[in-house]
Structure 1
Amino acid sequence: MNRLYSWPLSIFAASLLLGTAGLAHAQKKEHGESIHRDSVYNNSRYMQDFPTHLLMVQPPWNKPIYNGTELTVPGLQNVPDIHGDVNNPQLVVYFAGNQYMLVNQLMRDFMKAYPQYKRVVAFTLPPGRLITAIKRGNGILIGNMHVNLKPDILTAGHGSIMHLQNTMHWFSKVEVYAKNKLAIMVYEGNPQHVKGMLSLARPELQLCMPNPEWEGIAKHAIIPALKKTGGESLVNVVYREKVKNGTTFLTHIHHRQTPVRIMEHKCSAGVVWYTEAYFHSRIAHHPTAIINVPEKDNKVVAYTAGMMKHAPDPKAARDFMKFMVGITAQKLYRKYGFMAP
C-alpha cells in the first residue's frame, strides 16, 4: 500500500525555534560538573565549543537513531520530534508527544526485537495536531519541511482513541500500554514556593499551561484536576483570567515548551505529566523540580495505541502492537516513570 498521501515536499530546514537567550544562568555550576556531556544525548553531534549549559537544556535530549551528515544547530536548526528515517519507512508511529524522552530507545529496542524492520520513524507531537493531520491527509509541516507519511499506529489518551474508534472506526485493534498522572514542574529549588494546584491562582505566578484546543492533557486531565481541587472558579482563574492578563502562557508544543520556558525563567510553573517532570529533574538533571499533586486531586490517564485499519504495513503494525505490551517496552516505560497499564 502506498505510504504517502502525496510525494513529500521535503526541504530539510529549521524547526521549533527555541531561543537560547537567558539560558546562560539556567544551569548551575554543579550540574555542569556532575553531568557528563554524553549523559543525555551525544553532544559530539554539535560544535565542540558550543556552551555545555546550553546543550543541556536544548532539545532533542536524546541520541539520534540513525547516523548522517550533521546539520543540527542547537536552538536554531533542530527537528526534535521526528525520530528516525522518513525515507520509505517500514513503520510509522504517531506518538502522543509526552513520550519524547523514551521513543528513540523504544524504536531501537523494537528493531532489535524485529530485525527485519530497518527503517522506522516516530513522531512525538500533540495528538490533537496529529489527528488533524490524519483527517486532512495533508501531512505535517515543520518550518520548511513537509512530511506526508500515513501512520501505521496512532497513540493517544484512551478517551481520544476510543472516541475516534466509535465515531470514525479508524482502528483494527487498540491496546492500553501505559498510564500517567499529573505533576507541577517548577524551577530548581522552587523559588516561587508553589505548593499545589491552588498556588496556580496566584496573580503574580507566570504559568505555562497546555492549550485545551489540541492537548488532551488539558481537556481530560488538568481541567478535571483543577475542578476537583478548587472548583470551576480555579479553572476560570487559570485558563481564562490569567490567559487574558498574560500570566498564563498557552503552549503550542506543550511537552517541549514548558521545560524550556521554565529554564529560561519565562514561566515559574506548569502542569505536566509526571513523567515529563521526572525526566527533566531526575534523568536529564535539568534545573527543574517536581511538585507532586495529591492523589485526591490528581487524574490518572491511560495511553492507548490504535492500529490503523489502513496501515500501509499491517504486519509491522501488528508486530509493534505486540511489542508495546511486551516485557522490553514495559520495562522501558517503568524506567521513565510511567505507570503499568
Structure 2
Amino acid sequence: MRRAAAAIMVGLSLALTGCSAGAEPPSDSPDGELTVFAAASLSGAFDQLAEDFEAANPGTDVLPITYDGSAVLATQLLEGASADVFASADGRNMAKVTDAALAGGAAAFATNTLEIAVAPGNPLGVTGLDSLADSELIIVLCTAEVPCGTASETLIEAAGITITPASEEQNVTAVLSKVKSGEADAGLVYRTDIQAAGDEVTGVEIASADAAVNVYPIVSLADTPNPALAAAFVDYVLSPTGQKVLAAFGFGAP
C-alpha cells in the first residue's frame, strides 16, 4: 500500500457560516431544487435527511444526492461541477474547495471511525489490525487520497505492520461491496458502514480507532443559485433534528 505523508485530521476546527450545532431550521420555509455532493459514507444518513428536510419544507426538492469519495467530489467541484451543498468526510478535501474560494467557512457536523469488515460470523478469525498482515488474506482498502484511506494509513502505520491490499478503492462503499460479495476477506470501512450493512458483514473493532477520527464538514457553495435553500439544508443537518438522524446511523457528534 502506498504510504501517504498526510496524517488524518483530528480535532478539526472549522469556522461556522452563520449556523451552529444547536441551530434549528429557519422559520420561513425555503423552496426550490437542491443539489448535494456528499461523501459515500453519508449515503444512508443523507438520504434520510433529504427526505425529512423535504417533508419539513414543502416546496423543496432535494435532487438525487451525488455520493462518492470526498477527493473525487472536491475535484469535480474544482473542475466546474455545479452543486449547492458539499459534505466531506474530512477537512483536507473540504479545504481544497474553500481555498479555491468556491465556498466560505465550513461547519463540522459529524465524526466517524474505522472498523474491519469481514464475512458474517468472522469465519477467518480476524481479531484486529495485526490479523490483516497475514499474506494469505485478501485485503481491500480505500486509496490514500480519500478520507477512509488516510485514516487507514494512520492506523496501520501506528500499529507498525505492513498490509499489501489486493486493491485500493476510490470510496468506502466499494471496499464494503467487495467484502459483501466475497471478493475480499476483510476491508477497513467506517463503523457506520458496518451498522448499515446489517447481517451482510461482521464488524471487528480496532482498539486504536480513536487515533484516526474523521471529522465531517459541510458547507453551502458560493455559486449556488439558491443560497437561502442551501443554508437552510446546512442548518437542518446541524440542528438537533439532523443530529438525531446522524446519531441513528452511527455517527458521532462533532
Do these two structures clear the TM 0.5 threshold for a shared fold by scoring above it? yes
Could you tell me which residue of structure 2 aligns to residue 11 of structure 1?
Answer: none
Structure 1 unpaired stretches of 5+: 1-88, 140-149
- The answer to whether 1:228 aligns with 2:158 is yes
> Percent of counterpart pairs with the same letter?
22
Larger relative contact order (Cα-Cα within 8 Å, sequence gap ≥ 6): 2
Deviation at 1:119, TM superposition (A): 4.7
Query: Which whole-Å CA distance do the structure 2 matches of 1:272 and 1:259 have between them?
Result: 7
SS at match of 1:227: helix
User: Which amino acid in structure 2 is aligned with residue 186 of structure 1?
Assistant: V
- The answer to whether 1:250 aligns with 2:163 is no
Query: Which whole-Å CA distance do the structure 1 matches of 2:253 and 2:210 have between them?
Result: 20
User: Which amino acid in structure 2 is aligned with residue 340 of structure 1?
Assistant: A
Query: Which whole-Å CA distance do the structure 1 matches of 2:181 and 2:48 have between them?
Result: 28
- The answer to whether 1:306 aligns with 2:219 is yes
Could you tell me which residue of structure 1 aligns to residue 87 of structure 2?
Answer: 155
Kindly tell me: are residues 168 and 226 of structure 1, through their superposed partners in 2, closer, same or farther at Cα, counting changes over 3 Å? same
Match of 1:176 among 108, 112, 116: 108
SS at match of 1:312: coil
Higher gyration radius (CA): 1
- For residues 63-82 of structure 1, the C-alpha deviation after alignment (integer angstroms, 9 at most, x for no partner) is xxxxxxxxxxxxxxxxxxxx
Structure 2 unpaired stretches of 5+: 1-31
Match of 1:323 among 236, 239, 244: 236
- The answer to whether 1:116 aligns with 2:37 is no
Query: Which whole-Å CA distance do the structure 2 matches of 1:260 and 1:216 have between them?
Result: 17
Match of 2:202 among 280, 284, 289: 289
Query: Which whole-Å CA distance do the structure 2 matches of 1:297 and 1:200 have between them?
Result: 19
- Runs of 4 or more consecutive aligned structure 1 residues displaced over 4 Å after TM superposition: none
User: Which amino acid in structure 2 is aligned with residue 228 of structure 1?
Assistant: A
Kindly tell me: are residues 119 and 209 of structure 1, through their superposed partners in 2, closer, same or farther at Cα, counting changes over 3 Å? closer
- For residues 303-338 of structure 1, the C-alpha deviation after alignment (integer angstroms, 9 at most, x for no partner) is 000211111211111101110111221111111110
Query: Which whole-Å CA distance do the structure 1 matches of 2:244 and 2:100 have between them?
Result: 33
The answer as to whether partners of 2:74 and 2:97 remain within 8 angstroms in 1 is: no
TM-score, normalised on structure 2? 0.81
User: Which amino acid in structure 2 is aligned with residue 205 of structure 1?
Assistant: L
* Count of aligned residue pairs for this structure pair: 222
RMSD value over aligned CA atoms?
1.8
